[in-house]
Amino acid sequence: MGKPKLFSLLKALNREELVLFQKHLRDTRGKDSIVFQVFEYLKRFYPDFTDEKKLDIDYASQKIFRSPSVSEAGKRTNLQNSISDLYLILKKFITLEKAANDDFINRLLWIEALRDRGFKKEFAKEAASLYKDTVSIKERSSTNAYIPYMVATHTQFEQLCFNTRKPDIEGMHNCIEELKIYGEIVYLKMSSTLATAQRIRPEKSSPESEATEPIPIKTLPQAGLLLLEIYRDVFQLISTEEQSIYDRVERNLSEHLKDIHRDELSPIFTHLHNFLAHKLRTGGSESVWAEKLHQFHKFTLQQGLYDKKGALSAAQFLNIANVASTLKHFDWVNTFIHKYGRQFEENTVALANASVLFENGEFDKVLDLIHRTEFKLPFDQYRSKILVLRTYMETRFTYSVIIDYCLAFENVLSRAKPKTEAVQAILEFVRICKMILLMKTPAHVIRGRIRKKNNIYLREWLLKQINRYNI
């Protein structure tokens, strides 16, 4: 029956939630209802829903609806309608559970109900209480928490407006000032993400979507000041690429890490990692930026940000391993691969190990490992091809084989979509390799092109190859 959205939503439930949903369905629809019968059948395949035979719509409809009085087409329709109904019921159930278990949402809904029904005194009392409690728990800065703060502050302002005889002007003014602070922090976070996306995918950018400068605020309350300062710097870092700003953010994080909410570390670290990776491709001094990126990786790992299963992506795992290998930190990278590699598929770990082998000069082992490993993801294929090409060039493999490999790789990259910054950097790398191998272009011309190109992989390695090939 394909993969209905219901399956994805059911997968997201833990077993306790699945049992609660089953009880909810039984209590609200009854054990004899069609949707309950369908759910009882489908829950057998939780959490994977991978049994293609038993989840086939014809097979499943026959097993669930056994009445001979219903036609085959009718059974199929019943099943499809029931799956659609189950999705809507589950969606509502998750929403209700969220509201029931989240004190803030629960209180906010009650406040809105009081306001809508005209209970002004009760509304004012509850709104003031929510505002007081929400502001008092701001022990650490997190934009995830600032959304509730903004809602509570707006609700507080709303209730202050009811008193027209003795308006609390100071209180209303404070609400507006707090909304400015919270609003700018959230705004800066969103603007930083937009600016990063525009740099990675410039072909998707348009003048209308460009992030603007942050709005200056004259009065800054102490609450949220640190996070506001960090996000202002992050936004400026992405916009200007000034190393001094990066150093300031790095210093702020090191000195005030305990004052930043853990939920906020991941997005901040993502922006910093993207910046360093970008500078590694475009900055000119690869060894300097590689060392900075390696130290940054060590710092994030020390915070335990990737200890939870699933927190570290395969791409991040490979990036960390590759940078450490390039810097010849072999003991460190082998320990890292051993600790975190068990989370990933064999081909991902093989690619990380291949990088270590290459940097250690074990070229035969690199080719053996890559040639007997299947890489499924496009960027993993690119990484493996880069290693093969570099190994061929380091070992002076058969000339015709290297040239053919270059041409085939260049063709793959030329047709790649989207043309991200990383893909363009790899493409330029391959073209320079081809120029070195063909030996038709003077060395000074190739060196000039390598140095002038803003976006290229392995700039320093390419410059060494020009000398090795005696162009």
Q: Is residue 426 part of a domain?
A: no
Task: Give the pLDDT confidence score for residue 221 in this predicted structure.
Answer: 41
Q: Which of 139, 169, 191 represents a domain boundary (last residue)?
A: 191
DSSP labels for 138-155?
A: --SB-HHHHHHHHHHHHH
> How far is the C-alpha of 105 from the C-alpha of 364, rounded, in Å?
61
pLDDT over 70, % of the chain: 91
Q: Quick one: 130 and 165 in the same domain?
A: yes
The most confident of the ranges 263-267, 286-290, 445-449 is 445-449
Residue 212 confidence (pLDDT): 46
Domain termination site, one of 191, 211, 234: 191
* Rg (alpha carbons) of the chain, rounded to whole number: 29
Question: Residue 207: what pLDDT?
Answer: 46
pLDDT tens digits, 88-145: 999 999 988 888 888 888 888 899 899 888 898 899 899 989 888 887 665 445 566 6
* β-strand partners of 260: 141
pTM attached to this predicted model: 0.65
95 and 19 in a common domain: yes
Name the residue range of residue 60's domain: 5-101
Token representation of residue 328: 């010849």
Q: Does residue 464 form part of some domain?
A: no
How far apart, in Å, are the Cα atoms of 4 and each of 11, 89, 271, 465? 12, 14, 34, 53
Looking at residue 125, its amino acid is K
Average pLDDT across the chain, whole number: 85
Instruction: List all residues 6 or more positions away from 46 whose beta carbon is below 8 Å from its beta carbon.
Output: 10, 11, 13, 18
* DSSP 8-state class, residue 311: S
pLDDT at 140: 44
pLDDT at 442: 92
- Asked, for residue 177, whether it belongs to a domain, the answer is yes
Identify the residue whose tokens are 């507006």.
Answer: 176
- In order of 98, 126, 136, 145, the CA distances from 106 in angstroms are 9, 12, 18, 16
Residue range 241-267: mean pLDDT, rounded: 85
The top-scoring range by mean pLDDT among 22-26, 142-146, 280-284, 332-336 is 332-336
Regarding whether 140 and 92 lie in a shared domain, the answer is: no
Residue 217 pLDDT > 50, yes or no?
no
Q: Same structural domain for residues 130 and 92? A: no
Q: Count of domains in the chain?
A: 2
The answer to whether residue 239 scores a pLDDT higher than 70 is: yes
Q: Are the C-beta atoms of residues 214 and 245 closer than 8 Å to each other?
A: no
Instruction: Tell me: do 9 and 95 sit in the same domain.
Output: yes
Give the number of other Cβ atoms within 10 Å of residue 471's Cβ: 19
pLDDT for res 138: 52
45 falls within a domain: yes
Q: Which of 52, 86, 101 is the last residue of a domain?
A: 101
If asked whether residues 65 and 138 sit together in one domain, one would say no
Average pLDDT score over residue span 323-338: 95
User: What is the structure's pLDDT at 354?
Assistant: 96
